[in-house]
Amino acid sequence: MRKTWSMGVLMALALGFGMAQPANLKACFIYVGPIGDVGWTYAHDEGRRAAEKAIPGLTTQYVESVKPADTLATVDRLVAGGCNVIFTTSFDFMDQTLEAAKKHPNVIFAHASGFKRAPNMLTYMADFYQIYYLNGLMAGALTKSGKVGYVAAFPIPELKRHISAFALGVRAVNPRATVNVKWINAWYSPVKAREAAEALMAEGNDILAFTEDTPTVIQTAARRRVPSFSHYNSMYKYAPDYVVSGQLVDWSVIYIDILKKVQNGTYTPKNLQNVDYWWLAREKAVMLGAQVGMPINPKFEAALKKATMTVNGKKVSVYNRVMELYKDIQSPNPKWDPFTGPIRDRNGVLRVPAGRKMTVKELNEMQWVAPGVVGPVPDEPK
């Protein structure tokens, strides 16, 4: 009894002194690309603007096109400008964000897509892997050549996870189809994305998907009447006849949650060591769609309803399967997950035993790729 009481006093003291609520909550965002990329950075900025509207008393600031090597210097500048929560929104900012967190122990840091944390640094991610599987189903149903092209930024776990989920979906519909990957080694390079997409089409890929921060692949594919999938934002407007579906993100739900918890004192610069947001469709952080509110482009509905696949020995239309799974992953307790064993990698090594699902940690450290993925994959375990 006495112990609880003294603990209570201690906590009250701690709340009163060490972690006095910031009177002015100023959240600052460090972006890796230009806001106008219509991809990753644009999506984060939409989240920032939504958070500013949703939370009274919040002011925000951002710095765009920051080189990873300049992260620490940028943080210093922002802290001097009065920022008390700093979001660093690229994997490559990870190490310098950690360094900055040590240097500024009273500032709260939040790093997107990484795995290093500190008492004043949390991590967060809105992940697409489930949505990628659904897009894979559609790509598998729509490809005539059995070759689906994929323009990929960097061979890191995030992309391997997404490409693998996509390939698992493609193969669930068309077991002989391949997902052909071209790496461009850049997050933001319209020129490289264009030439990589052209190369994929020259090799006979008749559906394209991508991870890169611009709508270049969609524009390039549409010129050759090749269907493609939107990435990160509503890219439907760039080719209304050719964008089948895609993966969309809403960072605002995460930003609002984090900032509200900072504002009401739940999050302090001392208790974030184990805070990791891994938000999916269930939390409404990600969506399926060619644009918000359009899970599947009506132009492709008929073809997807006609295409069939076998699920547990029964024939179902691909359209229904996509919708069924999409409903499941949005429910409070999803039953289905694309990385449910048994899953072997493309070299035949059993990676997920039967009946088990991959953990978040495993997904974050994934270096192998699923069967059907064609092309060189750096750091792939043999």
Smallest separation (angstroms) from another protein to the CB of 263: 30
Which residues lie below 8 Å from residue 337, measured CB to CB, with a gap of 6+? 130, 357, 358
Minimum CB distance to another protein smaller for 214 or for 245: 214
Smallest separation (angstroms) from another protein to the CB of 188: 7
Smallest separation (angstroms) from another protein to the CB of 45: 11
298: left (phi > 0), else alpha (psi -120 to 50), else beta? alpha
Smallest separation (angstroms) from another protein to the CB of 198: 5
Minimum CB distance to another protein smaller for 113 or for 220: 220
Rounded CA separation 4/178 (Å): 61
Smallest separation (angstroms) from another protein to the CB of 193: 8
Minimum CB distance to another protein smaller for 120 or for 297: 297
Minimum CB distance to another protein smaller for 10 or for 191: 191
Minimum CB distance to another protein smaller for 52 or for 198: 198
> DSSP string spanning 4-64?
HHHHHHHHHHHHHTTTPPPSSEEEEEE-SS-GGGSSHHHHHHHHHHHHHHHSTTEEEEEE-
* Contact (CB, 8 A) for 288 and 132: no
In the chain, how many H helices and how many E strands?
12, 17
How many CB atoms are located within 10 Å of the residue 28 CB? 24
Smallest separation (angstroms) from another protein to the CB of 382: 16
Minimum CB distance to another protein smaller for 93 or for 238: 238
In this structure, what token pair is assigned to residue 65?
Answer: 């096109």
Smallest separation (angstroms) from another protein to the CB of 248: 15
Q: Degrees (nearest 5) of the Cα angle 117, 107, 257?
A: 70
Minimum CB distance to another protein smaller for 237 or for 282: 237
Residues that bind another protein (CB under 8 A): 34-38, 42, 65, 182-184, 188-192, 194-196, 198-199, 202-203, 214-216, 219-220, 237-238, 374-376
Q: Are strands 121-126 and 343-344 parallel, antiparallel or unpaired?
A: unpaired
Place of tokens 């997920």: 352
Burial (CB < 10 A; 0-12, 13-18, 19+), residue 13, is exposed
